[in-house]
Amino acid sequence: MTTTILPSRNEDYGFFGTITRCPLRDRRSTEVWTLAARHIAEAIGADSEDEMIGIRDFLDSRMGRQFADDVIGALHAGAETSEDAITAAIATWQGWRIGRQTERAEGIPAGLPYLTGWVQHFAITASMADAD
């Protein structure tokens, strides 16, 4: 399935806002947003519109701001390109696991890769909001 990258609905905050305030060497903010969304989709095996909405909502959230901080951190640590930094941040977030506290607080099953769990959380939250 071809994934459609959804634009940010929160350009002042989240991933987009954080990346916009960071001087990037090789790309504009909209390109970095697209790269991040595409690479996250590949990393978690996103193959539905709901999952792409989950990626957008994740990136637009407080968690997306934290993810952007890790991308920026990777750039400062020597990543050559924004794409390399995004790949490094994804590897870090996928290496972490959802813990019991997050499971109790957010309903995300413990043991899932952190990035996958949060994207799925945002996808489910969005689908529940659409059902109302």
Q: What is the mean pLDDT of residues 20-31?
A: 79
Residue 3 is predicted with a pLDDT of: 73
Closest alpha carbon to 2 in 36, 58, 48, 34: 48
pLDDT digits (tens, 9 = 90+) for 35-71: 999 999 999 999 899 999 999 999 999 999 999 999 9
| pLDDT at 94 exceeding the cut of 90 | yes
99-127: pLDDT as tens digits = 999 999 999 999 999 999 999 999 999 99
pLDDT at residue 58, as a whole number: 98
Model confidence at 2: pLDDT above 80:
no
Dihedral-angle region of residue 18 (phi above 0 means left; psi in -120 to 50 means alpha; beta otherwise) = alpha
pLDDT at position 28 is 87
Quote the tokens at residue 78.
Answer: 């020597």
For 131, other C-beta atoms within 10 Å of its C-beta total 6
pTM equals 0.93
Residues contacting residue 8 through CB under 8 Å, at least 6 positions apart: 14, 15, 16, 33, 56, 59, 60
In contact, 117 and 98? CB cutoff 8 Å: yes
Q: How far is the C-alpha of 36 from the C-alpha of 82, rounded, in Å?
A: 9
Structure tokens at 59: 């990136």
Render 82-94 in DSSP notation, one character per residue.
HHHHHHHHHHHHH
